[in-house]
Each structure stands twice: as structure tokens, then as C-alpha cells.
Structure 1
Amino acid sequence: MAATPNSPQSMGSTNTVFNTQTRFDPSYVRTLPGMAKIAVIVLNLLGFICIQSSAFWSNGRGVYFNVVAHLGLWFSLAMLLLYMFHVVERYHKIKWLHVEMVACGAIAFLYLIASTIVVAFGAAAYSAAGFFGYLAMVVYGFEAFLAARAVRAGAPAQGARVAAKPPHALAPPA
């Protein structure tokens, strides 16, 4: 519906509300980004276990895969805890979504390399680790996509965006 020249117009805006108290909130794990973080934590651990259970665990390919798995594990675990304890909301001036977007994109790329080189090795445990690595790569890519979409929309990393009601309606002069 288009506004006619003589109809009142309102100026709307939105405000972002941040609760800067650190508090534990387990409901984050039921959100899509929270479930993705849980998934990559599990996939990182499974890939690491596969490499460590192999007879070739000290091979350079396996060591590189484990470095990537540990990097992903600790980053995702730290971000999960920061979100669950609302530290991200407390320090809302830090561009958390940009950090997540770049880090998840980089880890996805590192997993592409790590998974490819361990699958090419040919050992069964390495192939299993490569499978979990490829799955982790997809989930990290999805996390980077979610963060990029949120950045583009101008959404806060954590906090509530509320619509502010205009104090009055503007009417054109008579």
C-alpha cells in the first residue's frame, strides 16, 4: 500500500537492547548456530580420534589433520561458551560475526586440504577421519554463510532488536 500525499507518515526505527550481565543461558544450543557449533565440536573430536587410533598417527598428514581438528575444536568450543555465557553480548562492540565468518571460512578451507591429504593416504582410519573432516568442512562453511548473512542484514551477534514506537505521527502542512 503506497502512502498518499495527504496521509500521516510515521518515522520508525529500531533499537538494539543489550543485557551486559554475564549469565548462563543453555537455550543457545537450541538455535541453528548453536547446533552447528555442537556438530563441529563432535566432528572435530571424531576426526581426531580416528587419526590417533591409526598406526600412522605420527605421519605428517595425520599431524596436520590433528592440528586443524584442534584449531577447530578450541575455536568452536570457545565461541560456544562465549555465546552461552552471553560474553558476546557483554562485549557487543567487538565484531563477533566478522570474526566468526572469517575463522569459520578459514577452518573450512583448512579442512578441505587436511581431509583430502588424509583420504589420499589410503589407510582406513585416515579415510574415516577424512569423512568426518569433510563433514566438518561443510558445517564450518554453513556457519560462515550464517555469519555473512547476519553481517549483511546488520544483525547483532547477540542481543535483542526491538522496534521503537515513534513519539508522534508527522502530518503534511495544510
Structure 2
Amino acid sequence: MADPGFPSQHTTTTTVTNTEIISNLRYDNSYLYTLEGKLKIAQIVFVLLSLIAVSFSTYSMWYQNSAVTSISMFGFWFSLFMLVFYIFHVVECFYKIPWLKIEMIFDVCWPILYLLSASSAAAYTGLHFSYIISLLFGFAAMFAYGYDALLKYQAIQRGEIAQGNIAVHKQTTTSTTSY
């Protein structure tokens, strides 16, 4: 006798997803002409100019400058590595790594750190003119990183990948089993 709470048939749906990407390393400078590429270059330039400005101060060896120097150098190297990764399609080769999330977290943290370090440089603007220059470039870098974080967040919300095109082929199979 059939159980009244048990259905007389069962439907199973199976979805198979295949992802195709181009996984070879190659040089492609077209990234430099995109908005993200221009932002990355602007970040590198602003960070480097902020670092140079604070380094040319008469008081460049003070411990107060270590925040500006450390944040600028780490931001410079991270942005430079990511720019090289995009130009040589390393990001596309390792598409399973959540590059957008990594960059978004970095781009959210760095404006906060730049706000703090540029504010510390602002406290010493009366001592040397280079602190004013460092302050201006630090705030410019802060806005560049903040806007990049916004773009990365929007890309994550749309379900995009960091670089390249992924062709997703879905195959759905439905089968019904009667008891």
C-alpha cells in the first residue's frame, strides 16, 4: 500500500556548467586604455608622488613619516603587481582566485589608511612645503582607490570576473521517475 504522504513520482533536474577561458600568458596592453587600467596607473602615480614628496622633506627621517612611507610603498607595489598581472593576463589564467574581492578589500582599506596618513602629513604642513604636496597626492590616491573599490563592488554584484570573457554553457536535463 502506498504511503499517502509520499509522492507517486519524483522529478530530478541536473545542470552541467562548463567554463571555457583562454589560459595562456600573453602581453596585452589594451588593459591600460580601460577605465580600470587608467585608475590603476593613476593610483601608482599618486602613491609614488606622495612618497617622493614626503621623502624630500627636511624631516623625512622622523618616525611620523613612517605611516606615509609604509602605506605608499605597500600601495605602490600592490597596484604595480596587479597592473602587471592584468597586462600579462595572469588574472585570467587563475580565474578561480577571487581577484575582484581581493582588490575590492584592498581598495576599501587603502582610502582609510591614506586618510590617516595624509592627515598625519597635514599636521606637519607648517614645517615643510613637501608635506602639502604629499597631502594632496595622498588624498588623490585615496579617491582613486575609493572609486576603484566602487567599480569592483559593482562588478562583483553583476557576477563578472576580473578579466577576460567566460563562456558558460548550461545543459539542463529533467527526468521523472514514477513509483
Range into which the TM-score falls when normalised by the shorter chain: 0.7 to 0.9
**Count of equivalent residues:** 153
Residues 114, 138 of structure 2: 8 Å contact kept = yes
Please state which structure has a larger fraction of its residues in strand. Answer: 2
Structure 2 unaligned spans of 5+? 1-16, 172-179
In the alignment, is residue 93 of structure 1 matched against residue 96 of structure 2? Answer: yes
In the alignment, is residue 37 of structure 1 matched against residue 40 of structure 2? Answer: yes
In the alignment, is residue 113 of structure 1 matched against residue 116 of structure 2? Answer: yes
In the alignment, is residue 136 of structure 1 matched against residue 161 of structure 2? Answer: no
Segment drifting more, 119-128 vs 107-116: 119-128
**After superposition, where does 1:1-174 map in structure 2 within 5 Å?**
17-122=20-125, 123-162=128-167
Q: 2:156 is matched by which residue type in structure 1?
A: V
In 2, Cα distance between the equivalents of 1:129 and 1:97? 29
Q: 2:71 is matched by which residue type in structure 1?
A: V
Shift of 1:163: 7.9
In 2, Cα distance between the equivalents of 1:138 and 1:128? 16
Distance 1:30 1:24, change over 3 A: same
Residues 17, 159 of structure 1: 8 Å contact kept = no
Shift of 1:61: 2.1
In 2, Cα distance between the equivalents of 1:165 and 1:90? 22
Segment drifting more, 51-60 vs 89-98: 51-60
For 1:51-80, what per-residue CA distance to the aligned partner results, in whole angstroms no more than 9, with x for missing partners? 111101011221210100001100000000
**TM-score w.r.t. structure 2 length?**
0.80
Shift of 1:161: 4.4
Q: Percent identity?
A: 37
**TM-score w.r.t. structure 1 length?**
0.83
Structure 1 unaligned spans of 5+? 1-13, 167-174
Please state which structure has a larger fraction of its residues in helix. Answer: 1
Bigger radius of gyration? 2
Residues 16, 160 of structure 1: 8 Å contact kept = no
In 2, Cα distance between the equivalents of 1:165 and 1:140? 36
Provide the alpha-carbon RMSD of the alignment.
Answer: 1.8
